[in-house]
Amino acid sequence: MPDAERARRRMVERQLRRRGIADERVLEAMGRVPREAFVREEDREHAYEDGPLAIGHGQTISQPYMVALICETAAVRTGERVLDVGTGSGYQAAVLAELGGEVETIERVPELAAAAHANLEAAGYDERVRVHVGDGSLGLPERAPFDAIVVAAAAPEPPPALYEQLSERGRLVVPAGDRGDQRLLLVVRSPEGPAVARSVPCRFVPLLGAEGFEPW
């Protein structure tokens, strides 16, 4: 993609910083990940526009602002164990890896998981991100605990299975609500129980699975 680096800089300054993303580590990570490598070839000229893009199988790659907001809310630090639910094309997993996370990512659609693995490998992230196929609403209990879990699909409520896979003071960032009225939530695990903070309104594809929505 011609001028991809310039497009990333413009995305960081105009779409992210101006809209309130303040964590410089997140801004730098978003400025390093080649988003054009995680969209369909026919959509590469639109890779840095501030909107979601279809990636097939009824799924999308989230808009850059929402990826940045999720990552900023998760506050991932170097060496932390991170679970990315809803791999999609692999873009958010790559950003989490750039933040220093040891990333496990899970996708329910095998074809998308395979494509994400290929995207991550081509972009140089395959050694920092492990892709799994399965029900993301149930997480990866065999790999738990996680310091942060981020979800790129909306659940009716924060899935209990994901909360249980958090380490002490671990953070779960998940869109929650019905299919038309959703909020981004931050859920922190503590000895007193879940501490929940509500963030911005959002609109995500539904999280399908045992602790998400049933398929249509």
Catalytic positions are: 62
Could you write out the DSSP letters of every residue in 2-51?
TTHHHHHHHIIIIIIGGGT---HHHHHHHHHS-GGGGS-GGGGGGTTSSS
Q: Which residues pair with 206 in a beta bridge?
A: 154
**Cα–Cα distance between 3 and 171 in angstroms, integer?**
36
**Cα–Cα distance between 44 and 196 in angstroms, integer?**
37
Q: Which tokens is 183 given?
A: 């909020």
**Cα–Cα distance between 9 and 13 in angstroms, integer?**
6
